[in-house]
Amino acid sequence: MKKMINWQRIWDDDGNTCCYRPVRIIASILSFFYLLIINFRNWLYDHKILKEAALPCPVISVGNITVGGTGKTPCVIMLTRMLQENGFKPAVISRGYGGKKASPVNIVSDGHKILLDHETAGDEPSLMAHVLKGIPVITGAQRVAAGQAAIDQFGVNVLICDDAMQHRKLFRDINLVLLDSHNSEESHHILPRGRLREPIKEISRASAIVFTRTNEAQPANSKIGALIQSEHIPVFKSIHQPKNIISGNDGTQKPVSGLQGKKVCAFCGIANPDSFKKALLAADAQVLSFDVFPDHHRYSKSELEKIKSGFIDCRADLLVSTQKDGVRLQKFPEFLTMIYMLSIELEIVPTPEPFKKFILDRLAAANQ
């Protein structure tokens, strides 16, 4: 069996083994050219040579400067619900990473009915379509066209653009940048040598920073912190809070306390599996096995049979995965009925009020 490159070890400089040294050298060379392209593109936008397109309603971007799971999807869900509760009519627009639909505009959900499955729409848009009631979810590589469609077809008055930090063609009134508290050190390299999608200095484009998973680690006192301070960028802290376990059989929800003392077999195919495992342990579950698959993994029948056999052999009480994985298991309804999905929400701490005031004040200014 062909050995896969462990990019995690390369990015973290973990284990300077000889077998990874050639890969690091090649990745560093590619990073140099990628950095030239990114810097040139940003320079064109900064100097107005490339123009941003503005839509006739406020746009909020939720993004990051790294690959991997910083918590963008939970943040989009939290932000959408907050706006909905405060009288706005929002829609979510996304590139639809991993989806097969290549049309300029794809209506994943009209707010009442889900119109595209996860393979067509992509994992994150499909998940948001399932959990956000009354909210249109639209995908498309051209965010301007997707946003205009949301306005024209659904009469929305604010757009939340998922994973759009690097999509500079669309003008945004609020640019939220999420930083994982675990990965805020200044030693990152640019892709593919490291996690960074663009240089740390581009954080200066942020309207506000949201540090995620601050209950697991504190933001590092690094170059990032110095940049935030020098640019006077507002900073908010958040945690990923487990809320419920959802039955894959009938969708019923139980409080996360239902995991306490239970013997659990768990599996996931997400960008940050460690965070999922920590959530299970924090709920006092006894994790007997924990199978990790690549992010956006498409499960095969044989893989699920192996997971099922392991669950039976362990004589565990519950087989648990994530909501994102649950979306990808829709075509395996028999297996889906066996599992529970852990629902995790992003919460601004110690109180959401300053964050809500920041967002509402910015939207009020945008609408003047």
Cis peptide before 90 (omega within 30 of 0): no
CATH topology of domain 240-346: Rossmann fold (3.40.50)
DSSP-assigned beta bridge partners for residue 180: 212
Residue 1: per-residue pLDDT: 35
Residue tagged 């009915």 (tokens): 113
- The answer for residues whose C-beta is within 8 angstroms of residue 256's C-beta and 6 or more apart is 242, 243, 244, 245, 283, 342, 343
With contact defined as beta carbons under 8 Å apart, do 238 and 252 qualify?
no
Residue 140: per-residue pLDDT: 93
Instruction: List, for the chain, all residue ranges whose pLDDT scores fall below the cut of 50.
Output: 1-3, 15, 186
Pairing of strands 59-63, 158-162: parallel
DSSP-assigned beta bridge partners for residue 179: 211
DSSP-assigned beta bridge partners for residue 290: 266
Domains 59-233 and 240-346 share a fold: yes
Taking 3-state DSSP, the helix, strand and coil percentages for the chain, each rounded to the nearest 5, stand at: 40, 25, 40
Q: How distant, in Å, are the alpha carbons of 28, 197, 198, 245 from that of 42?
A: 21, 12, 9, 43
* Token couple for 250: 């009938």
> Residue 134 in 3-state DSSP?
coil
The neighbour count for residue 165, using CB atoms within 10 Å, is 24
- How many whole angstroms separate alpha carbon 96 and alpha carbon 280? 28
Q: How distant, in Å, are the alpha carbons of 213, 246, 302 from that of 71?
A: 8, 20, 30
With contact defined as beta carbons under 8 Å apart, do 338 and 275 qualify?
no
- How many whole angstroms separate alpha carbon 31 and alpha carbon 29? 5
Pairing of strands 286-292, 263-268: parallel
- How many whole angstroms separate alpha carbon 354 and alpha carbon 256? 27
If we measure between CA atoms, which residue out of 302, 270, 268, 306 comes closest to residue 287? 268
Domain ranges of the chain: 59-233, 240-346
The residue length of the chain stands at: 368
- How many whole angstroms separate alpha carbon 52 and alpha carbon 56? 13
Is the pTM here over 0.75, yes or no? yes
Residue 2: per-residue pLDDT: 41
DSSP-assigned beta bridge partners for residue 152: none
CATH topology of domain 59-233: Rossmann fold (3.40.50)
Task: For 282-342, give the secondary structure using H, E and C.
Answer: HCCCEEEEEEECCCCCCCCHHHHHHHHHHHHHHCCCEEEEEHHHHHHCCCCHHHHCCEEEE
Buried b (16+ CB within 10 A) or exposed e, 111-139: beebebbbbbbbbbbbbbbbbbeebbbbb
Residue 10: per-residue pLDDT: 59
